[in-house]
Amino acid sequence: MWAVLNPEIVKASEEKLMGVEGCLSIPNLVGEVERHASIQVKGLNRHGKPMKIKAEGWLARIFQHEIDHLNGVLFSDRATRVWQPPQEIEPEQEV
């Protein structure tokens, strides 16, 4: 688990990747969002000391998603397409 106070993306790769994202802030919707493949984030740790994190892949996507929230941006604002995924059918319970 990461705890980063005042996170800021200070470097981002030119390479971007499309991926499907969802969010608890917008239930029952997912969307295709383009994000940087790798980033570097600076901020403060839980003790107030400066820190930097190099993130790539899924972790880079998560940091970008969460930092967007801090800036008032939702994944749907960046999505090229948004849709409702099919509802999962729960298996029948045995009695």
Beta pairing partners, 38: 56
Interior CA angle at 23 toward 88 and 66, to 5°?
150
| DSSP annotation of 90 | P
**Which candidate in 66, 90, 92, 94 is catalytic?**
66
| DSSP annotation of 46 | T
**Annotation marks residue 66 as catalytic:** yes
Residues noted as catalytic: 66
